[in-house]
Amino acid sequence: MQALLFISLAILVFLVVRMLLNIIVEARAKNNPAGENAQLESQNMVRCAHCGIHLPQSEAYFDGRHTYCSEGHLRKGPKDAPNSSYNDVDED
């Protein structure tokens, strides 16, 4: 008899906790604007012509032909890489 009472009490506690958590989650979802829950929009990634690091196109510096990760690399220009097969501009 005590085991049955204990199991019933445990189930009751579980259901109450679950109900409270659902109420909290729904309240948070209601208070957050849709923009905060949406995933960030993906961006094109570009490669720095000097060091080769990849970065979002919106953060890159562009000189008309190559992209760079910083103003310093923009000033230095593309790194000479004779064995590199990478070309960031299509020359069709």
Domain edges within the chain? 45-76
Q: What is the per-residue pLDDT for 90?
A: 46
The pLDDT value given to residue 80: 73
Q: What integer pLDDT is reported at residue 20 of this predicted model?
A: 97
Q: Report pLDDT for 69.
A: 95
The rounded average pLDDT for each run of 10 residues, N- to C-terminus, in the chain (92 residues) is 94 97 91 61 90 93 93 89 49 44
Q: Write phi, then psi, for 64 (nearest 5 degrees).
A: 105, -20
User: In this structure, what are the phi and psi dihedrals at residue 65, rounded to the nearest 5 degrees?
Assistant: -130, -45
Q: What is the pLDDT of residue 83?
A: 44
**Euclidean distance between CA atoms 13 and 60, whole angstroms:** 55
- Backbone Cα Rg of the chain: 28
